[in-house]
């Protein structure tokens, strides 16, 4: 899903490298969002409306994948971590925030100039929190991966 969304759908929408969608997520101000959407043109807006369903699938897929990977690594760690349920919850929370953000974007793209400024700002806050959650989850996956890897190596040596 990552490859399809990032290298196929997003570039079709913004007509460039696909970073226009990330820029929209973190625009914070409606005027900045309007400028981003206007650069897409009518074709980009039509492509956004046609392909937004992929972003919902992507949100569900990555939240399940990250939560599953965390669970696997925690179980391989041979002991329960106090915070693992919280981190797994962050994986699912990131997916939910992504879906909320997508829904707000759908309404925004339909009528950028008449869209409430406070809702657009909240949309960017949701996106920022989502990215922070994903970053925290990935750090924990790396941490647990090293811990499991080192534990396995030590166990094999003894």
Determine the pLDDT at residue 13. Answer: 84
How far CA 48 is from CA of 18, 98, 110, 139, 154, in Å, comes to: 11, 15, 10, 31, 50
Cα gap 58→82, rounded to integer Å:
29
How far CA 13 is from CA of 42, 43, 57, 117, 143, in Å, comes to: 10, 8, 17, 23, 36
Determine the pLDDT at residue 37. Answer: 95
Q: Given the structure tokens 């969002």, which residue do they identify?
A: 33
Determine the pLDDT at residue 156. Answer: 56
Determine the pLDDT at residue 11. Answer: 83
Determine the pLDDT at residue 25. Answer: 95
Low-confidence ranges of the chain (pLDDT < 70): 78-81, 150-158
Determine the pLDDT at residue 152. Answer: 61
pTM of the complete model: 0.87
Determine the pLDDT at residue 76. Answer: 79
Determine the pLDDT at residue 67. Answer: 94
With H, G, I as helix, E, B as strand and everything else as coil, classify residue 114: coil
């Amino acid at each position: 899903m990552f490859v399809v969304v990032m290298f196929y759908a997003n570039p079709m929408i913004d007509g460039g490298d696909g970073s226009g969608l990330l820029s929209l997520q973190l625009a914070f101000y409606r005027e900045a969002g309007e400028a981003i959407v206007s650069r897409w043109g009518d074709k980009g807006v039509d492509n956004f409306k046609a392909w937004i369903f992929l972003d919902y699938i992507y949100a569900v897929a990555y939240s399940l994948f990250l939560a599953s990977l965390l669970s696997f690594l925690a179980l391989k760690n041979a002991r329960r971590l106090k915070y693992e349920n919280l981190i797994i919850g962050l994986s699912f929370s990131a997916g939910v925030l992504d879906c909320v953000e997508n829904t707000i974007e759908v309404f925004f793209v339909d009528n950028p100039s008449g869209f409430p400024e406070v809702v657009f700002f909240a949309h960017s806050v949701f996106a920022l929190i989502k990215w922070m959650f994903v970053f925290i989850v990935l750090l924990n996956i790396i941490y647990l991966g090293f811990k499991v890897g080192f534990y396995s190596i030590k166990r094999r040596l003894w």
